[in-house]
């Protein structure tokens, strides 16, 4: 029998999706005690803005090419996660600075007027009533004598946009944030709907600069999960069911895990992805999907070959060359939700150890962590630099709050 889309989407918006376990069900003294130190650098950076704006994604004091190219980068996803962490910690006014920074970036883009967000903007204050002032980050390339902007930063991926929607809808009484979320959702529905695919779902978005960025035909399990929750909060029931249905279609019951998505040619991307397997468990909370955590621990856990209870963290991919701290924090949150406190505590201890002198959680435990992704012909590597999203997820894990939890009414 076909699933009633409206009934299913309503279940997404309520207890079946993102319902939080009962408070006080577990002892959480260690985790609560860790939260202030993990939050401190985010709070200080948000306070320093002095108003609406966006935070730098990475500490860039290494003097290498990465530091030059990321010196002013404020990723949309990272700022949304940081805003959710501030909100979880009771810092609503500071969280609103980041939410408003994203809203102004959307409203004051130097070219786009259709509701999309770029993947990144120049960090710092966003000035109200400054038309066309929001731009992608960039850097001066002395060798070529020109200003350079990265094509990924200038593009618009559906997952980061969904996270901005999650932050905006976490302020249920704010009409301006609601309107921004609706505009963003409208763009995704119009421009990212997968044409003619029986699985449904939404594509990756766009890559590159205006006026004609390259459309990305691949579909991501993780990004559709983000969209399913965001659409449900907005009452866009058909879109929510379409995105959630795509996620469910990528479940591999024989392996007990989710595939990463679809390739541009429509084939299943069988890569093992941490977020594609952890986040559905945080959002859907269905017993059938519980084995996905075991899949991740067995294939991404470090030290390689160690018993599950002796793992210290997760790698981004399966080569296990080092620990990815953002994913390790995500796993700590899910482990807490599943009542596996001891392993969750081990993982958060790892996160706490991997902080720089200013309290920022590093993106990776080694100088350059492989991911398997490429930016053109250049491998994308996570640096051993302080990372905004890693801190944000660590705060969420410490406070037992998920981005996919239903916001307070």
The pLDDT, as a whole number, for residue 195 is 82
Confidence of residue 197 (pLDDT cuts 50, 70, 90): low
What would the pLDDT profile of 296-313 be if each residue is shown by its tens digit?
A: 999 999 999 999 999 999
Question: What angle do helix axes 5-13 and 221-233 make, rounded to 10 degrees?
Answer: 90
Is residue 222 in some structural domain? yes
What would the pLDDT profile of 332-371 be if each residue is shown by its tens digit?
A: 999 999 999 999 999 999 999 999 999 999 999 999 999 9
- The two tokens of residue 293 are 């955590």
The pLDDT, as a whole number, for residue 198 is 66
Is residue 181 in some structural domain? yes
Is residue 407 in some structural domain? no
Q: What is the largest CA-CA distance in the chain?
A: 62
Is residue 151 in some structural domain? yes
Count structural domains, the chain: 1
Identify the residue whose tokens are 């999309």: 116
What would the pLDDT profile of 261-280 be if each residue is shown by its tens digit?
A: 999 999 999 999 999 999 99
Is residue 315 in some structural domain? yes
Is residue 306 in some structural domain? yes
Residue 218: give the domain boundaries: 5-15+32-399
Is residue 21 in some structural domain? no
What would the pLDDT profile of 133-189 be if each residue is shown by its tens digit?
A: 999 999 999 999 999 999 999 999 999 999 999 999 999 999 999 999 999 999 999
Mean pLDDT of the chain: 93
pTM equals 0.94
Share of residues in the chain with pLDDT > 90 (%): 89
- 90 burial (CB, 10 Å; 0-12 / 13-18 / 19+) is exposed
Query: Which one is predicted more confidently, 94 or 62?
Result: 94
CA 31, CA 400: separation in Å to the nearest integer?
8
The pLDDT, as a whole number, for residue 15 is 33
The pLDDT, as a whole number, for residue 374 is 84
> How far does CA 29 lie from the centroid of its chain?
26
The pLDDT, as a whole number, for residue 27 is 52
Is residue 25 in some structural domain? no
Residue 52 sits in a domain whose CATH number is 1.50.10.20
Whether the per-residue pLDDT at 57 is higher than 60: the answer is: yes
Residue 178 φ/ψ, nearest 5 degrees: -60, -45
What would the pLDDT profile of 76-102 be if each residue is shown by its tens digit?
A: 999 999 999 999 999 999 999 999 999
Stretch 40-51: mean pLDDT, rounded?
A: 99
CA 129, CA 145: separation in Å to the nearest integer?
32
């Amino acid at each position: 029998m076909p699933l009633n889309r409206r009934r299913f989407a309503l279940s997404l918006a309520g207890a079946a999706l993102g319902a939080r376990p009962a408070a006080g069900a577990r002892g959480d003294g260690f985790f609560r005690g860790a939260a202030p130190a993990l939050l401190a650098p985010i709070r200080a950076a948000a306070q320093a803005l002095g108003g609406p704006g966006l935070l730098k994604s990475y500490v860039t004091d290494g003097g290498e090419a990465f530091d030059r190219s990321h010196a002013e980068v404020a990723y949309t996803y990272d700022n949304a996660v940081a805003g959710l962490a501030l909100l979880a910690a009771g810092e609503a006014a500071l969280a609103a600075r980041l939410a408003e920074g994203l809203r102004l970036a959307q409203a004051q883009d130097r070219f786009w007027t259709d509701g999309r967000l770029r993947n990144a903007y120049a960090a710092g204050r966003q000035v109200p009533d400054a038309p066309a002032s929001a731009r992608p980050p960039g850097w001066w390339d002395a060798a070529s004598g020109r200003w350079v902007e990265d094509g990924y930063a200038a593009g618009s991926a559906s997952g980061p946009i969904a996270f901005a929607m999650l932050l905006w809808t976490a302020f249920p009484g704010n009409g301006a944030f609601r309107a921004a979320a609706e505009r963003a959702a409208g763009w995704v529905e119009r421009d990212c709907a997968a044409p003619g695919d029986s699985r449904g779902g939404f594509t990756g978005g766009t890559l590159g600069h205006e006026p004609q960025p390259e459309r990305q035909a691949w579909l991501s399990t993780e990004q559709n999960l983000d969209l399913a929750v965001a659409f449900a909060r907005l009452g866009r029931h058909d879109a929510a069911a379409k995105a959630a249905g795509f996620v469910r279609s990528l479940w591999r019951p024989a392996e007990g895990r989710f595939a990463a998505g679809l390739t541009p040619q429509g084939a299943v991307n069988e890569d093992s992805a941490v977020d594609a397997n952890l986040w559905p468990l945080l959002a859907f909370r269905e017993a059938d999907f519980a084995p996905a955590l075991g899949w991740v621990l067995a294939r991404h856990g470090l030290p390689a070959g160690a018993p599950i209870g002796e793992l210290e963290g997760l790698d981004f991919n399966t080569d296990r060359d080092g620990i990815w701290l953002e994913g390790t924090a995500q796993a700590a949150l899910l482990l807490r939700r599943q009542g596996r406190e001891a392993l969750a505590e081990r993982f958060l201890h790892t996160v706490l150890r991997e902080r720089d002198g200013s309290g920022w959680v590093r993106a990776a435990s080694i100088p350059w962590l492989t991911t398997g992704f490429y930016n053109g012909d250049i491998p994308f590597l996570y640096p051993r630099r302080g990372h905004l999203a890693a801190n944000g997820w660590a705060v969420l894990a410490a406070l037992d709050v998920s981005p996919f939890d239903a916001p307070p009414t």
